[in-house]
Structure 1
């Protein structure tokens, strides 16, 4: 049983496809109006039909209010960490704090190489990402940033602007080495989809994060835990993920919060995104908030 005590929050994943842009705009506004906390946008720039994630988030942030955005997750191998930090600080400043920087080591080595990035093996990718997180934390704090290693050479970058509130950095990770980096350096763990990281494998991953955080002198409770949940609410056949009526979703997400330690759930609808969002926001979200609050009160 693990519950890190963070407030329970909810988000919606938005499709970055150009052919989905009108629906994406509509969904973003609807999610904000429904009271969700986050809109998440994946980052696969080597997909020809995908809009650039940063450009899309900037556009959507201008047509919404209240709701925050995070990149789910930005590929650090295709963008220098100083540029990522600059972009995150700028967007946070322009949106009055409505941005979280979600990053990852990159989904595919082939995709990265196809765009001119360096093809790195597993250990190289992990060390590159770990160093990038350290650089981004320093750059987001402002001041002069210097960092020299085999993979990064930064000589006296004067960082800024500094947002009025710190920009959290959440790391997408799955393997042991990257999970340990999450514990040492990130403000949150972004778990891949529930079909890639099934619930019965989560506890072992949480323990890796916690142990790495403790070894680095950090409180594991300082690391937020975000679950990308694909599925459908209601009668639906033929899809993977969490499938069931709203009560099933409410019961399941409550269990994943108080037993597995997740505090943020990002919904990836398999079908009829707007109708699914309406049910999620009206029935699932309030049920989970109420049940988690009641369980925590009894504990």
Structure 2
């Protein structure tokens, strides 16, 4: 049964304490590749594994879009109140990117060795149900009271509340846990090896019955799947080519309703293949079949026919940039607000080169590739808003210079040096040892794919350098505030530096989107 959920793809990374650099690079790679999730297992009693929440926090600071989840948290060693607080805190820090996977417990010898309880199967499930009640009560805010067999809270004042409603995943295999999943969970997350594809139908049926009995619709529980495999010439489930993988996963979505696929791998090449070849192919296959099914279900519908779709009119280009054509591309560049705050200009905008893509239509995957650039830019725009707020607090005396510089230096905007150029550099750095910089860089890739785009890329690279200098100028103005003790000239320099950065950044991001959305949709990131 297809529950109609939007498809998601993620990476399940090993928190190996001996290879933390690789773990963090793979997490950044997942973000750059456009994967939806990064998950970590949680075994606090395992000497070779680093601590899960600490790692998720660092990953959250180094990424901008990917969601974060324990898969699954060791509940017997993580009291639900502390777990709820940790999740809510990280959710606020990352802007609502946290989800929680829970299990009733396993590896009881290790849990007992770490000072945790050794529970019977029944007690483990009972404790899980109590923990879910406490987690959700805590995230709602107010006072939490729970007098249970395994957990007790007496008038706890909960806080902080998370930035969004945190989804709860349950790893479940046995009938009772499957029924609990149907009653209480947002996501079911089984793993290959414990629940292989032939077993999924019967497990789904138990969950569906439980959702209906609880007054919920079966589709209210998303079906996720931890998968493993290898790319090559072998045959078998997830053992062949990327196309083989795509067909097999699309079939699981259409017949068993699995909609989130999380690949267990620490190989950057496998993660890149999964994100760039498997994921878009699965989306295309599922989208096509869902469209056919919808057509067949319409009264008088002709199997295989698709209603024509109109295209919204293309947004006019900025003066001096020609008229780039984005025919058929649904993703639109973010308009330049036009208003300029600073007296000076970072550059002349009238001499920017332009590139016109030939007219064509775009697939859903190509649309998603273009949209990913806008998503990255939207994150940078939001960080600019944060910087303006920080500077306002400095001027009002509500924040010290040191705190302001520290806050700005942790932002993606500052860490990554510059938007697509730095986005590319991070991607290449992550893959060092597997691919050369030239082969994996986005700009060189686009230069090869569209030689006529070279003047635009040259200009974007020069603007990247200017914006880097403007960030340095803002930092120097903040430092100068210390010695000037808030005197008007120092305040004016700080405001001027911030306004010039704002003008340049918003203009640059809009220009980059106008010129690169169509080429990126057509040729990908490389």
Check the 8 A contact 2:13/2:40 in 1, yes or no: yes
Q: Secondary structure of 1:47's match?
A: coil
Q: Where do 1:91-106 residues align within 5 Å? A: 91-106=90-105
Is 1:283 the counterpart of 2:281? The answer is no
Deviation per residue, 1:223-251 (Å, 9 max, x gap):
111100011122469xx962111111000
Shift of 1:164: 3.0
Question: What is the number of equivalent residue pairs in this alignment?
Answer: 293
Question: In 2, Cα distance between the equivalents of 1:5 and 1:210?
Answer: 14
Alignment partner, residue 274 of structure 1: 268
Q: Secondary structure of 1:233's match?
A: coil
Check the 8 A contact 2:8/2:259 in 1, yes or no: yes
Q: Where do 1:112-131 residues align within 5 Å? A: 112-131=111-130
Question: In 2, Cα distance between the equivalents of 1:190 and 1:143?
Answer: 30
Deviation per residue, 1:117-149 (Å, 9 max, x gap):
110011110111111111111111111111112
Check the 8 A contact 2:12/2:262 in 1, yes or no: yes
Give 1 or 2: higher strand fraction: 1
Deviation per residue, 1:193-245 (Å, 9 max, x gap):
x12211000011111111111111222211111100011122469xx962111
Q: Where do 1:8-27 residues align within 5 Å? A: 8-27=7-26
Q: CA RMSD in A?
A: 1.4
Q: Secondary structure of 1:174's match?
A: coil
Alignment partner, residue 209 of structure 1: 207
Check the 8 A contact 1:72/1:103 in 2, yes or no: yes
Stretches of 4+ aligned residues off by more than 3 angstroms: none
For the pair shown, the structure with the greater C-alpha radius of gyration is: 2
Q: Where do 1:198-237 residues align within 5 Å? A: 198-235=196-233
* Structure 1: tracts of 5 or more residues without a match: none
Question: In 2, Cα distance between the equivalents of 1:233 and 1:268?
Answer: 13
Alignment partner, residue 289 of structure 2: 295
Alignment partner, residue 70 of structure 1: 69
Q: Which has the higher contact order (CA 8 A, sep 6+)?
A: 1
Is 1:5 the counterpart of 2:1? The answer is no
Check the 8 A contact 1:230/1:241 in 2, yes or no: no
Question: In 2, Cα distance between the equivalents of 1:23 and 1:78?
Answer: 27
Q: Secondary structure of 1:242's match?
A: coil
Question: In 2, Cα distance between the equivalents of 1:228 and 1:63?
Answer: 24
Alignment partner, residue 252 of structure 2: 256
Question: In 2, Cα distance between the equivalents of 1:214 and 1:112?
Answer: 35
